[in-house]
C-alpha cells in the first residue's frame, strides 16, 4: 500500500497512477428514509469512520458528510484498485447492513464526476428543496471537523474549499437559492420588501398553528425586536411565548395589542374573521399610519378580505403565499443551467489544479528513479576506478547536478497549471515510458 | 458636438447601465463593483469633457443649454454615487444610469451645439450659486426616480405578483429613506445656492430681485419639497401618497428648468 500523507501543503506521497477523488453515498434520490437513517453518521461517527478509512489504508484522505437527506463518503484512494468497492464494504460493515439491502441504492463516482457531485451538492442542485442553503453549512461543518482532526489532505482540502466557493457563487450569482420556497419564508421575505431589515421591528402572533411557529423561527433568526403571542387559550399563548422568547397577551387585549406590531401573523383554527377591517383601520390610525404587514395563515381566513384595501396595510393569505412559492419554484428551476455552468467551471478549475499536482508528483518520481540509477551506477563503477575521496565527491556532485539540470525545465513546465491544462494523458505517457507505476512507487519514490 | 471625453463618458454610462441592469437578474458582487466603477469612470470622463469644452470656449459649462444640461447629468451621477455608497444598494443604479444616458443622448440630439460667446466674468460666488442650484435639481431628479420605483414596488406588492426584479429592488422603507436623503441634499443645495445668489446680486446691484419669476418658482420648489418632508412622516401621507407627492414635485423643478428659464426670467438663462 502506498504511503499516506496528511500534510496540507504538499502533494500526496502517492506517485503511481492518478490522484483522484472517490465517492460513495446514498441520498433522498436513491434511498428511502428507512434506509438513509440506517447509514447515517453522527458527528462522532463521521470522524471515527474517516479515521478508520485511513487507518485501514482504503483512503489517504477522507471526509464523511451525513445529513438527514444524504450519507456520503469522500476520499482520495490510497491505491489504484477500485476504492469505491472497498468504501462500500466499509460502509456495510460499519453500519452492519447487508450489501443486498444497499443494492441499487448507492451511487459511486470517481475523478471529475465525484468532484462534480460534491459541487452540485454544495450548490443545492442535488437537494430535495432546490437551492436550499442549509446544505452549504452542513458541508462546511463536516469539512471543518475533518480538517481539524487531520483526516483531510491537499486534494480534499482543495475539493471542499472549491465546493464552498461554488456553493456561495451559485447562490450569489443565480436565482437558484434566491427566492423563498416555503409559505412561512415567503411571508417573511415579503415583509422584508416593506421594512427592509426586520431587526428591531415588532411582531404579533395570533393563534398557535404549526406554520405560525415556522414564521416565528424566521423572525427570530432576523433578530425581531419584540414578539407578542395572543391565543384564545392564554395558557397555550404563555407556553408558546416562553418557547419563542416572547410575551403572552390576553385575548381580551387583542385590539389594544394591534397598534404596536409591524408584522401580524394569524393562524387561528376554525375561527373565521378574527381581524375585521375596522379593527385594522383603528390600529393603523393608532400607529400613526406606519405600514403593517399581515400574514393570514388561517383556513378559513382570519382577516377580512376587504382589509387589503386599507392604506399602508399589506395583506397576504395562505393562497397568495402558496402561489408565490410556486412561481419561485419555477424561477429556481429556470436557473439550473446557469448554476450547472458555474459548477462545470469550478470542476474544470479543480481538474487543472489536479493535473498540475499530478505533474508535480511525476517530477519527484523521475528524480527518485534517476537518483536510484545514479547511486547504483556510482557504486558499480567507482569500485573499478582509482579515485581520491575528493574526486569521488566531485563526481557525485556532477552527476547530481546533471539530474537537476535535466529535470529543471520539465519541472517548471509541469508546475505551470495553465500549460498543463488537458495534458493529463501526456503525464500518463511519461509514467508509462519511464516505467513509473505502482510497483516502482513502493520502492522508488520513497527513497 | 461632444469631444472625445464626451463620447467616452457616454460609452461608460451605457456600459454601467448594462451592468446595473444585468445585476438585477444575475446578482454578482464583481458585476456590481464593475457597474459602479464604470459609472464612476463615466463621471470622471464627463468632468474632463465639461472642462475641455469650457477651456475651449472660454466660458463656464452652464452658459448654454447644452452645457447646463450636461452639468445636470454629471451632478446627478455624483449624487447617485454618494447615495449608493451611503445606503449600500445598487438596485436603482440601472434606472439612474438609464436616465443619465437618455438625458445625455437627448442633449446631444436636441440642443444647439453652437458654442456660446464668452460671457462677462461673474466671479466664483456666481459659479457656486449656479452649480449648487443645478446640483439641487439633480438631487430632486434622483428623488423622482426613487419615488417612481417606490410606487411600482408598492403596486407589485399589492398585486401579489412579484417578478424577478421585485426581489432585487430595495425595500419600500429603504426607497423612502433614499428619496428623503436625496431631497435633503437637494434642499441644502438649493438653500445655499439661493443664498449665494442673493449675496452675489447684493454685491453687484445693491438690491434683491424678489420679483424675478425664477426666484418665485425656486421658493415654490423649496416649499413643495419641505411639504413633502413634513407630510411623509404624517399618518395620512406616509408611504405611497408621499411618493406621489415627491414625483409630482419634480414637475415644478422641470417647469423651473425649462419654461421659466426659456420664457419668463430675464437673467436666469439656463440654470
* Same-domain status, B250 and B138: yes
CATH number for the domain harbouring residue A84: 3.30.460.30
Residue A386 domain boundaries? 361-445
For chain A, percent of residues with pLDDT exceeding 90: 49
Contacts A311 to B, Cβ<8 Å = 236, 239-241
Contact A192 B234 (CB under 8 A): no
* Same-domain status, A342 and A423: no
Mean pLDDT, chain A, as a whole number? 85
* Same-domain status, A161 and A210: no
Best mean pLDDT range from A133-137, A154-158, B22-26:
A154-158
* Same-domain status, B87 and B146: no
Contact B241 A175 (CB under 8 A): no
* Same-domain status, A286 and A420: no
For residue B260, the model assigns a pLDDT of 84
Choose one of B67, B101, B119: the last residue of a domain. Answer: B119
Contacts A331 to B, Cβ<8 Å = 164
**Would you give the DSSP letter of residue B120?**
P
Distances (CA, A) of B224 to A180, B138, B211: 40, 16, 19
pLDDT bracket for residue B115 (50, 70, 90): low
* Same-domain status, A311 and A341: no
Which is it for strands A70-77 and A59-66: parallel, antiparallel or unpaired?
Answer: antiparallel
* Same-domain status, B152 and B179: yes
* Tens of pLDDT, residues A2-18: 333 333 334 444 434 56
* Same-domain status, B62 and B115: yes
Average pLDDT over residues A371-381: 86
Average pLDDT over residues B173-190: 95
* Same-domain status, A199 and A246: yes
Instruction: Answer with the residue of higher pLDDT: B210 or A284.
Output: A284
A68 is catalytic: yes
Contacts A172 to B, Cβ<8 Å = 27-29
Is residue A12 one of the residues assigned to a domain? no
Contact B239 A291 (CB under 8 A): yes
pLDDT bracket for residue A1 (50, 70, 90): very low
Contacts A174 to B, Cβ<8 Å = 26
Contact B238 A291 (CB under 8 A): yes
For chain B, percent of residues with pLDDT exceeding 90: 52
Is residue A241 one of the residues assigned to a domain? yes
- Nearest beta carbon to residue A172 from set B27, B164, B172: B27
pTM above threshold 0.90: no
Average pLDDT over residues B129-157: 94
Q: Which residues of B touch A (CB under 8 A)?
A: 25-29, 153, 157-158, 160-162, 164, 166-167, 170-174, 234-241
**Cβ pairs A/B, distance under 8 A:** 68
Choose one of A317, A351, A385: the last residue of a domain. Answer: A351
* Same-domain status, B101 and B129: no
Total domains, chain A:
3
CATH number for the domain harbouring residue A252: 3.40.50.720
Residue B74 domain boundaries? 1-119
pLDDT bracket for residue A421 (50, 70, 90): low
pLDDT at A215 over 60: yes
* Same-domain status, A158 and A143: yes
Total domains, chain B:
2
Is residue A410 one of the residues assigned to a domain? yes
The residue written with cell numbers 402558496 in the block is A322
pLDDT at A217 over 90: no
* Same-domain status, B3 and B114: yes
Is residue A8 one of the residues assigned to a domain? no
C-alpha cell recorded at residue A379? 557504486
* Same-domain status, B268 and B148: yes
Cβ(A352)–Cβ(A417) below 8 Å: yes
* Same-domain status, B127 and B109: no
Q: Which of A278, A284, A222 is nearest to A259 (CA)?
A: A284
Dist. CA B140–CA B39, nearest whole Å: 19
C-alpha cell recorded at residue B155? 403596486
- Nearest beta carbon to residue A193 from set B29, B171, B240: B171
* Same-domain status, A321 and A337: no
Average pLDDT over residues B44-60: 84
For residue B36, the model assigns a pLDDT of 96
Contacts A320 to B, Cβ<8 Å = 160
**Would you give the DSSP letter of residue B112?**
-
Average pLDDT over residues B219-247: 94
* Same-domain status, A32 and A173: yes
SS (H, E, C) chain A: CCCCCCCCCCCCCCCCCCCCCEEEEEECCCCCHHHHCCCCCCHHHHHHHHHHHHHCCCEEEEEEEECCCEEEEEEEECCCCCHHHHHHHHHHHHCCCCHHHHCCCCEEEECHHHHHHHHHHHCCCCCCCCCCCHHHHHHHHHHHHHHHCCCCCHHHHHHHHHHHHHHHHHHHHCCCCCCCCCHHHHHHHHHHHHHCCCECCEEEEEECCHHHHHHHHHHHHCCECEEEEECCCHHHHHHHHHHHCCEEECHHHHHHHCCCCCEEEEECCCCCCCECHHHHHHHHHHCCCCCEEEEECCCCCCECHHHHHCCCEEEEEHHHHHHHHHHHHHHHHHCHHHHHHHHHHHHHHHHHHHHHHHHHHHHHHHHHHHHHHHHHHHHHHHCCCCCCHHHHHHHHHHHHHHHHHHHHHHHHHHHCCCCCCCCHHHHHHHHHHCCCCHHHHHHHHCC
- CA A190-A194-A196 angle, to 5 degrees, is 95
* Tens of pLDDT, residues A19-77: 889 999 999 999 998 899 999 999 999 999 999 999 999 999 999 999 988 999 999 99
* Same-domain status, B129 and B260: yes
Q: Which residues of A touch B (CB under 8 A)?
A: 172-175, 178-179, 189-190, 192-196, 284-285, 288-291, 308, 311-312, 314, 316, 320, 323-324, 327, 331, 338
Average pLDDT over residues B135-140: 94
Contacts B172 to A, Cβ<8 Å = 193-195, 291
Contact A195 B166 (CB under 8 A): no
Distances (CA, A) of A369 to A129, A409, A441, A444, A445: 53, 17, 10, 6, 7
The residue written with cell numbers 437637494 in the block is B186
Contacts A338 to B, Cβ<8 Å = 26
- Nearest beta carbon to residue B171 from set A196, A312, A331: A196
Is residue A1 one of the residues assigned to a domain? no
| Å between B97 CA and nearest CA of chain A | 22
Cβ(B185)–Cβ(B137) below 8 Å: no
Choose one of B85, B119, B153: the last residue of a domain. Answer: B119
* Same-domain status, B90 and B142: no
* Same-domain status, B101 and B226: no
Name which of A189, A200, A287, A289 to mutate to probe chain B: the one with the most chain B Cβ atoms within 10 A of its Cβ: A289
pLDDT bracket for residue B45 (50, 70, 90): very high
* Same-domain status, A247 and A376: no
pLDDT at B94 over 50: yes
* Same-domain status, B129 and B145: yes
* Same-domain status, A33 and A114: yes
Is residue A82 one of the residues assigned to a domain? yes
* Same-domain status, A142 and A37: yes
Residue in A68, A128, A221, A406 annotated catalytic: A68
Contact B171 A314 (CB under 8 A): no
Is residue A2 one of the residues assigned to a domain? no
| Å between A72 CA and nearest CA of chain B | 31
- Nearest beta carbon to residue A289 from set B26, B172, B238: B238
* Same-domain status, A305 and A202: yes
Contact A288 B170 (CB under 8 A): no
Instruction: Answer with the residue of higher pLDDT: B91 or A438.
Output: B91
Amino acid at each position: 500500500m502506498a504511503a499516506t500523507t496528511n500534510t496540507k501543503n504538499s502533494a500526496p506521497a502517492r506517485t503511481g497512477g492518478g490522484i483522484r477523488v472517490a465517492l460513495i453515498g446514498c441520498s433522498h434520490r436513491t434511498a428511502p428514509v428507512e434506509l438513509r437513517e440506517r447509514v447515517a453518521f453522527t458527528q462522532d461517527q463521521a470522524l471515527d469512520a474517516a479515521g478508520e478509512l485511513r487507518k485501514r489504508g482504503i483512503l489517504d484522505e477522507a471526509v464523511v458528510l451525513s445529513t438527514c437527506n444524504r450519507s456520503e463518503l469522500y476520499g482520495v484512494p490510497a491505491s489504484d484498485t477500485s476504492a469505491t468497492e472497498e468504501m462500500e464494504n466499509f460502509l456495510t460493515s460499519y453500519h452492519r447492513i447487508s450489501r443486498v439491502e444497499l443494492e441499487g441504492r448507492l451511487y459511486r463516482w470517481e475523478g471529475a464526476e465525484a468532484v462534480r457531485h460534491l459541487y452540485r451538492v454544495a450548490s443545492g442542485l442535488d437537494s430535495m428543496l432546490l437551492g436550499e442553503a442549509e446544505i452549504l453549512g452542513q458541508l462546511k461543518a463536516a469539512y471543518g471537523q475533518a480538517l481539524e482532526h487531520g483526516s483531510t489532505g491537499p486534494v480534499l482540502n482543495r475539493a471542499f474549499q472549491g465546493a464552498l466557493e461554488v456553493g456561495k457563487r451559485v447562490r450569489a450569482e443565480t436565482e437558484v437559492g434566491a427566492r423563498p420556497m416555503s409559505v412561512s419564508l415567503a411571508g417573511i421575505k415579503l415583509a422584508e420588501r416593506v421594512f427592509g431589515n426586520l431587526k428591531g421591528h415588532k411582531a404579533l402572533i395570533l393563534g398557535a398553528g404549526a406554520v405560525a411557529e415556522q414564521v416565528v423561527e424566521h423572525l427570530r433568526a432576523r433578530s425581531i425586536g419584540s414578539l407578542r403571542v395572543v391565543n384564545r387559550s392564554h395558557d397555550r399563548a404563555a407556553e408558546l411565548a416562553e418557547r419563542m422568547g416572547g410575551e403572552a397577551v390576553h385575548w381580551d387585549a387583542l385590539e389594544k395589542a394591534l397598534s404596536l406590531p409591524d408584522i401580524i401573523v394569524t393562524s387561528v383554527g376554525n375561527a373565521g374573521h378574527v381581524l375585521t377591517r375596522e379593527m385594522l383601520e383603528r390600529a393603523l390610525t393608532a400607529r400613526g399610519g406606519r405600514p403593517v404587514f399581515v400574514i393570514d395563515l388561517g383556513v378559513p381566513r382570519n382577516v377580512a378580505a376587504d382589509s387589503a384595501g386599507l392604506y399602508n396595510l399589506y395583506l397576504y393569505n395562505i393562497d397568495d403565499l402558496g402561489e408565490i412559492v410556486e412561481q419561485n419554484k419555477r424561477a429556481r428551476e429556470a436557473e439550473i443551467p446557469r448554476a450547472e455552468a458555474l459548477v462545470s467551471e469550478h470542476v474544470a478549475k479543480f481538474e487543472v489544479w489536479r493535473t498540475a499536482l499530478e505533474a508535480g508528483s511525476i517530477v519527484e518520481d523521475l528524480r527518485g528513479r534517476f537518483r536510484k540509477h545514479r547511486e547504483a551506477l556510482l557504486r558499480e563503477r567507482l569500485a573499478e576506478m582509482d579515485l581520491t575521496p575528493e574526486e569521488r565527491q566531485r563526481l557525485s556532485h556532477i552527476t547530481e547536478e546533471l539530474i537537476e539540470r535535466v529535470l529543471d525545465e520539465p519541472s517548471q513546465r509541469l508546475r505551470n497549471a495553465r500549460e498543463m491544462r488537458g495534458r493529463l494523458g501526456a503525464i500518463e505517457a511519461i509514467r508509462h515510458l519511464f516505467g513509473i507505476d505502482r510497483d516502482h512507487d513502493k520502492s522508488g519514490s520513497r527513497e | 458636438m461632444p469631444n472625445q471625453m464626451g463620447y467616452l463618458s457616454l460609452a461608460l454610462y451605457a456600459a454601467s447601465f448594462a451592468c446595473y441592469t444585468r445585476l438585477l437578474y444575475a446578482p454578482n458582487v464583481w458585476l456590481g463593483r464593475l457597474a459602479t466603477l464604470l459609472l464612476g469612470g463615466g463621471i470622471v470622463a464627463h468632468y474632463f469633457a465639461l472642462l475641455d469644452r469650457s477651456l475651449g470656449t472660454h466660458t463656464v459649462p452652464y452658459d448654454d443649454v447644452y452645457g447646463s444640461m450636461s452639468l445636470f447629468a454629471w451632478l446627478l451621477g455624483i449624487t447617485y454615487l454618494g447615495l449608493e455608497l451611503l445606503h449600500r444598494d445598487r438596485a436603482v443604479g440601472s434606472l439612474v444610469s438609464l436616465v443619465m444616458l437618455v438625458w445625455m443622448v437627448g442633449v446631444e440630439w436636441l440642443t444647439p451645439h453652437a458654442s456660446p460667446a464668452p460671457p462677462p466674468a461673474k466671479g466664483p460666488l456666481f459659479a457656486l450659486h449656479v452649480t449648487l442650484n443645478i446640483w439641487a435639481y439633480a438631487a430632486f431628479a434622483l428623488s423622482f426616480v426613487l419615488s417612481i420605483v417606490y410606487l411600482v414596488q408598492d403596486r407589485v406588492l399589492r398585486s401579489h405578483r412579484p417578478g424577478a426584479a421585485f426581489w432585487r429592488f430595495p425595500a419600500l422603507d429603504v426607497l423612502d429613506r433614499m428619496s428623503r436623503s436625496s431631497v435633503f441634499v437637494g434642499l441644502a443645495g438649493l438653500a445655499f445656492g439661493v443664498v449665494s445668489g442673493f449675496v452675489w446680486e447684493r454685491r453687484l446691484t445693491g438690491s434683491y430681485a424678489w420679483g424675478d419669476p425664477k426666484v418665485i418658482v425656486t421658493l415654490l420648489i423649496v416649499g413643495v419639497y419641505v411639504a413633502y418632508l413634513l407630510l411623509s412622516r404624517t399618518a395620512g401621507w406616509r408611504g405611497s401618497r408621499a411618493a406621489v407627492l415627491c414625483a409630482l414635485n419634480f414637475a415644478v423643478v422641470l417647469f423651473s428648468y425649462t419654461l421659466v428659464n426659456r420664457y419668463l426670467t430675464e437673467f436666469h438663462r439656463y440654470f
